[in-house]
Amino acid sequence: MFEKLYNWTISLAESRHATWALAGVAFAESSIFPLPPDLLLLPMSLAQPKKAWFYAAVCTVASVLGGAAGYAIGALLYDTLGQWIINLYGYAAKMDALKAFYAQWGWAFILVKGLTPIPYKLVTIVSGLLAYNFALFMALSLITRGARFFILAAAMNQFGDLFRYWMEKHFGTFVIGLLAIVVLGFYLAAKIA
């Protein structure tokens, strides 16, 4: 089963629409979508290691643009869509504490949580809700999202053959590990303000 899934993932990563799909997932993950773009970025970088830097750049730009959409949800649509997303992740009861924290440490919140498995959409929506300086938000998003995706590209560039060999032999373990990281991110999002 995992061998078929691995082959399907690699063939999808090599398709001519893969870059658009990657951009779409990276954009949506920063505002509404629950799964990270790493799910496509990794196999695409393995399928075409020389394009790993390009894929990291696509992820970064799309993620930052998606962050602007998430910011708009927080700023303009909080009473409807934004509040629903915040409630979904369990942050509603923590909003007062989060507002106080954000006033002093908003820049650190954006930088640190942009690198972690905690869903980035929470950062973008909260930034809009709390009217964090938009230009600073965008600059910090570019730094943190770029760091995340370019670190992954550097790892694929340096260790891609080893990683590909390991994935071919242990793809099931990889899928389970990646799903565990996503679940951990959602768990942490619900526990940490």
* 10-residue stretch averages of pLDDT, the chain, 193 residues long: 62 79 90 79 81 93 96 88 75 77 86 79 87 94 94 83 74 72 66 56
Distance CA 89, CA 155 (A): 31
Domain housing 122: 2-191
Torsional class of 90: left (φ above 0), alpha (ψ -120 to 50), beta (otherwise): left
| Structural domains in the chain (count) | 1
DSSP state letter for 133: -
pLDDT for the residue 142: 96
Contact 74, 125 (CB under 8 A): yes
Cα 193 to Cα 20, 46, 70, 84, 126: the distances in Å are 33, 35, 18, 17, 11
Q: What is the pTM of this model?
A: 0.78
pLDDT for the residue 8: 67
Backbone torsions φ then ψ of 107, nearest 5 degrees: -60, -40
Contact 22, 40 (CB under 8 A): yes
